[in-house]
Chain A
Amino acid sequence: MAEKKDNREVVLRLSDITMQFGGVVAVDNLNLDVHKNEIVGLIGPNGAGKTTAFNCITGVYEPTNGAVEINGEVVIENYPQGKMKDAYKGKNQGKYTKALTMLPDKVTKLGVARTFQNIRLFKGMTVLENVMVAMHMNQSESVFGATFRSKKAREEEKTMREEAMELLKKVDLYENRNDMATSLPYGKQRHLEIARALATHPSILLLDEPAAGMNPQESDDLMKFIGRIRDEFDLSILMIEHHMQVIMGICEHIYVLNYGGQIADGTPEEIQANSAVIEAYLGGDE
Chain B
Amino acid sequence: MINTWLPYILAGIAVGGQYALIAIGYTMVYGILRLINFAHGDVFMWAGLIMVYLVTILPIWASIIVVIIFAILLGTSIEKVAYRPLRSAPRMSIMISAIGVSYLLQNFALYITGGLTKTYPTIKWLQKSVKIGSASTKMVTVITPILTIVLVVLLVLLIQKTKIGMAMRAVSRDFETSSLMGIDINRVITVTFVIGCGLAAIGSVLYFSNYTGIQPMSGAMPGLKAFVAAVFGGIGSVPGAVVGAFIIGVCENLIKGAGWTTFSDAFTFVLLIIILMVKPTGLFGEKNIDKV
The answer to A–B direct touch (Cβ < 8 A) is yes
A interface residues (Cβ-Cβ under 8 A, vs B): 21, 51, 55, 60, 116
The 5 closest A-B pairs by CB, nearest first: A60-B292, A55-B292, A21-B289, A51-B292, A116-B292
Contacts of A55 in B (CB 8 A): 292
Give min CB distance, B50 to chain A, whole Å: 44
Interface of A is mostly: mixed
> How long is the Cα–Cα vector from A55 to B289 in the complex, in angstroms?
13
Give min CB distance, A45 to chain B, whole Å: 18
Contacts of A116 in B (CB 8 A): 292
> In the complex, which residues 245-292 of chain B have their Cβ closer than 8 Å to any Cβ of chain A?
289, 292
Q: What are 5 inter-chain pairs, A to B, with CB distance below 8 A? A: A21-B289, A51-B292, A55-B292, A60-B292, A116-B292
> How long is the Cα–Cα vector from A55 to B292 in the complex, in angstroms?
8
- The proximity string for B residues 25-48 relative to A, scoring 1 for CB distances below 8 Å and 0 otherwise, is 000000000000000000000000
> How long is the Cα–Cα vector from A21 to B292 in the complex, in angstroms?
14
> How long is the Cα–Cα vector from A215 to B172 in the complex, in angstroms?
38
Smallest CB-CB separation from A104: which chain B residue? B292
Give min CB distance, A104 to chain B, whole Å: 10
Give min CB distance, B212 to chain A, whole Å: 49
Contacts of A51 in B (CB 8 A): 292
Smallest CB-CB separation from A21: which chain B residue? B289
Give min CB distance, A46 to chain B, whole Å: 14
Give min CB distance, A56 to chain B, whole Å: 11
Give min CB distance, A24 to chain B, whole Å: 11
> How long is the Cα–Cα vector from A265 to B80 in the complex, in angstroms?
55
Smallest CB-CB separation from B287: which chain A residue? A22
> How long is the Cα–Cα vector from A21 to B287 in the complex, in angstroms?
11
> How long is the Cα–Cα vector from A60 to B289 in the complex, in angstroms?
11
Smallest CB-CB separation from A208: which chain B residue? B292
Smallest CB-CB separation from A117: which chain B residue? B292
Smallest CB-CB separation from A58: which chain B residue? B292
Give min CB distance, B286 to chain A, whole Å: 10
> How long is the Cα–Cα vector from A60 to B292 in the complex, in angstroms?
8
> How long is the Cα–Cα vector from A203 to B89 in the complex, in angstroms?
39
Smallest CB-CB separation from B286: which chain A residue? A22
